[in-house]
Amino acid sequence: MNTGSNHRRWLLALALSICAACDAATATDLSGRVVKIADGDTFTLRADDGALVKVRLAEIDAPEQGQPYGSRSRQALAELVSGEYVRVVVQDIDSYGRTVGRPYAGDVDVCAEMVRSGSAWAYQKHLTDQALLTFEDKAREAKRGLWSLPETDRVPPWQWRWQDRQNPARVADASCAIKGNINSRGERIYHMPGQDNYAATRISESRGERWFCNENEARAAGWRAARS
């Protein structure tokens, strides 16, 4: 029996299995150019194969549109990735069909930078990277970004969404499903079912926001259509 030959074959098999594992890991990466920013933790990527892919940033949660700091969080993400070629390390596909992952713009870890700048929270419910908690603590201590807001305005997005779901004034008539939102600049914008930001838009009637049954009603009340 040729022990040396068997040993070499074993080493070759081991090397091939390692390469296969590397290829499998790489296959979960997604690359392309960012073509649209939805909010502070979601963007659309035109992948290398031409497909449009909606990406939800993993392990962080940014303020919702209509929530204090929501627009500035979106702007912070736009400054990092809008028009940029990025690589996304994919972790999952969420219940909305979005690709969940950690994007990198060159050497910049986008999720970490959003938390470090005070533009998003570490999403503790889905957290695996404990360093994000350290970045959040330092941003809070330095009062960066959303941490400069009054304490009453620093509501974690997951809590904001929960409070919105408890709102008894949510739409009672399914035919009146147009959302009349007021953004942080005071602009009155209505969102139609099926538009990109429809699901993420929350209606707070205590802030003067409301539901509409048709577009004519919304325009007559002073709202304009959301730009798609």
- Out of 98, 140, 144, 161, pick the active-site residue: 98
Does the model's pTM come out above 0.75? Answer: no
> What confidence score (pLDDT) does residue 74 get?
94
- Out of 56, 74, 202, 210, pick the active-site residue: 56
> What confidence score (pLDDT) does residue 111 get?
98
Whether 64 is catalytic:
yes
> What confidence score (pLDDT) does residue 129 get?
94
> What confidence score (pLDDT) does residue 164 get?
65
- Out of 59, 64, 113, 136, pick the active-site residue: 64
Whether 170 is catalytic:
no
Whether 205 is catalytic:
no
Compute the mean pLDDT over every residue in the chain, rounded to the nearest whole number: 84
The domain locations on the chain are: 29-151, 167-225
> What confidence score (pLDDT) does residue 27 get?
45
pLDDT digits (tens, 9 = 90+) for 57-66: 999 999 987 7
29-151: CATH topology: OB fold (Dihydrolipoamide Acetyltransferase, E2P) (2.40.50)
Give a three-class secondary structure readout of the chain.
CCHHHHHHHHHHHHHHHHHHHHHHHHCCEEEEEEEEEEECCEEEEEECCCCEEEEEECCEECCCCCCCCHHHHHHHHHHHHCCCEEEEEEEEECCCCCEEEEEEECCEEHHHHHHHCCCCEECHHHCCCCHHHHHHHHHHHCCCHHHHCCHHHCCCHHHHHHHHHCCCCCCCCCCCCEEEEECCCCCEEEECCCCCCCCCCCCCHHHCCEEECCHHHHHHCCCEECCC
For the chain of 228 residues, list the mean pLDDT of each consecutive stretch of 10. Answer: 55 48 56 96 96 97 88 95 97 92 97 98 92 96 95 86 61 66 90 79 80 85 86
> What confidence score (pLDDT) does residue 7 get?
56
